[in-house]
Structure 1
Amino acid sequence: MIARDVDASGRARLAPAGALFRGLADPTRLALVRRLASGEARVVDLCTELGLGQSTVSSHLACLRECGLVDYRAQGRASVYHLTRPELMDLLAAAEDLLTATGYAVTLCPAYATTAAADPTTTQESAR
C-alpha cells in the first residue's frame, strides 16, 4: 500500500530547498559565499574586504554554518572560514545565468526586488 502524502501538493518535500534559498536570500550572505569561494578567510579579513562590522559578519557566518554551507578551523586565536560545498558556486552561477536570461526582471518585481536594485552588469560579473 502506498502511504498517503501528508502534503498532497508536495510542498513538504520542497521545504529543504525553500530553506536553502531563504538562507541564501540575504545579499550579505551571498557576498560572504562569493568571497569564500576564492579561498579561506578570517572574520577580520572578511570585515575589511566587505566593509562590514564584525558582529554582522559573524552572525551571517553562523547562519551559513548552521546551514552546512561554511565551516571554520581554528588558527591560533582566529577562526578561518571556508566553503564546505563548492558546488554552491555552480548553483549561484546558474542563478546568474537565469537572471541574465530574464533580463533581471526580478529587480522590477514588487514582491522580491530590493529597494536599491543592483546594476545587472556589475552583479553579473561579480558573482562569477
Structure 2
Amino acid sequence: MAMTELKVDETIGLAAAACLFNGFSDGSRLAIVRHLAAGEQRVVDLTEQLGLAQSTVSKHLACLRDCGLVESRPQGRASLFSLTHPEATMELLAAAETLLALTGDAVALCPVYGIEAQK
C-alpha cells in the first residue's frame, strides 16, 4: 500500500471516529444511551425518566439512529428503542470514564471544550 493510500485511509478513519464521538457529544444523548443500556425504551418512557421534552428526545434518538448507535422496532403505535451494539457502547463509555478519572479536572476546565466554554 502506497503512503498516499495509507494517509487517505487514516484520514477517512479519523473522520469516521470524529463523527462517532460527535454522536456522544451531547449530555442528553449520553443520558439516553445510559437509559437504553438498561433495555428497550419508548420515547414517552425516556421523556419521563429524563425530564426532557418529547421533541428533544425524538431529535436525539434520530441523531443516535443516524449514527448507527440505536435502532427501533414498532410496538403498536409506539416504537421501542435499543442500543445497536450495547456491549461495545458500554465498553466505550467505561473507557471514557476511566480517561476522565485519569485527567481529573483538565477536560472540564479546558478553555475550548470545557464546561465554561459551553455556556
Alignment TM-score > 0.5, same fold: yes
Tell me which residue corresponds to 1:51.
51
Going from structure 1 to structure 2, the CA distance change for 1:116 and 1:7 (only over 3 Å counts) comes to: closer
Q: Are 1:105 and 2:106 matched, yes or no? A: yes
- State the 1:23 CA deviation: 1.1
Q: Deviations over 1:46-105 (max 9, x none)?
A: 000000000000000000001111011111101111001111110000000000011131
Opposite residue 114 of structure 1, the aligned amino acid is I
Number of corresponding residues: 117
- State the 1:12 CA deviation: 3.0
Opposite residue 63 of structure 1, the aligned amino acid is C
Q: Distance in 2 between matches of 1:116 and 1:40?
A: 34
Tell me which residue corresponds to 2:35.
35
- Report the TM-score when normalising by structure 1: 0.83
Show the 5 A alignment for 1:83-122: 83-86=83-86, 87-115=88-116
Q: Any runs of at least 4 consecutive aligned residues in structure 1 with deviations exceeding 6 A, and if so which?
A: none
In the alignment, structure 2 segments of 5+ residues that lack a partner are: none
CA contact (8 A) 2:20 2:67 kept: yes
Secondary structure (helix, strand or coil) at the match of 1:30 reads helix
- Report the TM-score when normalising by structure 2: 0.89
Going from structure 1 to structure 2, the CA distance change for 1:31 and 1:3 (only over 3 Å counts) comes to: same
Tell me which residue corresponds to 1:123.
none
